[in-house]
Amino acid sequence: MTQIGTETVQDTMNGSGDDKPMIIAQDVEKWYDNNFHVLRGVSMTVTKGEVLVVMGPSGSGKSTFIRTFNALESYQKGKIFVDGILLSHDVKNIETIRQEVGMVFQQFNLFPHLSVLQNVMLAPIWVRRWPKARAEEVALQLLERVGILEQAKKFPGQLSGGQQQRVAIARALAMQPKIMLFDEPTSALDPEMVREVLDVMRSLADSGMTMVVVTHEVGFAREVADRVVLMADGLLVEEATPEVFFNSPTEERTKKFLSQIL
């Protein structure tokens, strides 16, 4: 493993254009408290505007991996740079990095005591310190974009799963992040609601957002992804364009996984 200094990475990151790397993971290793070796040396780069789909069997470490990108999980070895900033173990301004990285969870995790509109306005007001009027204007725009405008005054508990997940996307987008992480955003949804969420994600990808998506939705991966990676047992097994990944994968592990889900 070659140690790359912060400066070198900084230089590459300053490169503009579509190939500017937004996330760099270098030989990331992580152990859970019970000494379970969950990430066993994962390296990966996501460039600006790219949509990366992460697939893999349950328990392979996908969630853990993408949660290291906004420091919801720590890691013990290797390096992760997000938008040029090293996520070290003692990073001071963890909140500053989290502002640049939006995350959408499998269980939506909306704040049930706040209305839909308040959910979306909360972080811009308290973290970005926007005036209320501006936060509300942006929030309403986003709610319109995800098709929930009429429900703005309702509470999350009064919405369907698909609607809640779209609110969660709007909530993350309200911070105007540079990167969006999705951890199985449609896995907790009834089948008839999967589509409305995927449509929102597709249009987000079309708008040029850098996205890392953990999902089992093969259709979405085929159409939207720039690259698909397979994660198994804490390692990245295969990395390819969707074309190659689904039609002619090289690794046995990938073939086995695809035979199980297709």
Partner 1 sequence: MTTTFPPSSSAPPASNSGGLMAWLRKNLFNNWLNGILTVAISAMLVWVGMSFLEWAFTVAQWSVIPANWQLYFVGRYPNDQYWRLWAIFGLVAILSGLSWGILARNTAQLFTKTALICLGLLGVFGVIMPAPLTSRLLFLGAVILLAAAAWGGRQLGHSVAGIGRWISFAWIASFFVVMWLLAGGFGLESVSTGNWGGLLLTLFISVVSILLCFPMGVLLALGRQSSLPVVRLLSVLYIEIIRGVPLIAILFIGQNMIPLFLPQGMRPDNVYRAILGLTLFSAAYLAENVRGGLQAIPRGQMEAAHALGLNPALTTMLIILPQALKISIPAIVGQFISLFQDTTLLSIVSILELLGISRSILANPSFIGRYWEVYLFIGVIYWLFCYLMSIGSRRIEASLNTEH
CA distance 156 to 64: 26
Place of tokens 């093969």: 218
Binding site for Mg ion (CB under 5 A): 63
Q: Which stretch binds ligand ADP (CB under 6 A): 19-27, 28-36, 127-135, 147-155?
A: 28-36
The full DSSP string for 55-81 is: E--TTSSHHHHHHHTTTSS--SEEEEE
Q: Figure out which of the listed residues 172, 213, 225, 229 binds partner 1, where binding follows CB under 8 A.
A: 172
| Residue 240 three-state SS | strand
Taking residue 261's Cβ as centre, other Cβ atoms within 10 Å add up to 10
Q: How many CB atoms lie within 10 A of CB 131?
A: 10
Among 218, 163, 179, 189, smallest CA distance to 66 is for 179
Contact call for residue 101 and partner 1 (CB under 8 A): yes
72 belongs to the binding site for partner 1 (CB under 8 A) = yes
The residue number with the shortest CB distance to ligand ADP is: 63
For residue 158, give the H/E element and its range. none
Which pair of tokens denotes residue 186?
Answer: 């449609």
Write the DSSP symbol of residue 156.
Answer: G
CB of 181 to ligand ADP, least distance (A): 12
Confirm or reject binding of residue 122 to partner 1 (CB under 8 A).
Answer: yes
**Pairing state of beta strands 179-183 and 210-214?**
parallel
The residue (of 23 and 38) whose beta carbon lies closer to ligand ADP is 38
61's contact among Mg ion, ligand ADP, partner 1, none, with CB below 5 to 8 A by partner kind, is ligand ADP
- As given in the structure block, the two tokens for residue 226 are 């720039």
CA distances (Å), origin 19, targets 13, 42, 91, 97: 9, 20, 26, 21
Does 211 contact partner 1 by CB under 8 A? no
Helix boundaries (H) for the chain: 6-14, 62-68, 94-100, 116-126, 132-145, 161-173, 191-206, 218-224, 242-247, 252-261
Listed ranges 28-36, 77-85, 93-101, 218-226: which one lies at the site for partner 1 (CB under 8 A): 93-101
- The least distance separating partner 1 from the CB of residue 102, rounded to whole angstroms, comes to 7
Q: Which does 257 bind (CB under 5 to 8 A by kind): ligand ADP, partner 1, Mg ion, none?
A: none
Contacts (CB under 6 A) with ligand ADP, residues 43-102: 56, 58-64
Q: Scan residues 138-157 and list those touching partner 1 (CB under 8 A).
A: 155-157
Site string for ligand ADP, 187-226 (x = CB under 6 A): ----------------------------------------
- Which residues here bind partner 1, judged by CB under 8 A? 70, 72, 95-96, 98-99, 101-103, 105, 107, 109-113, 122-123, 126-127, 155-158, 168, 171-172, 175
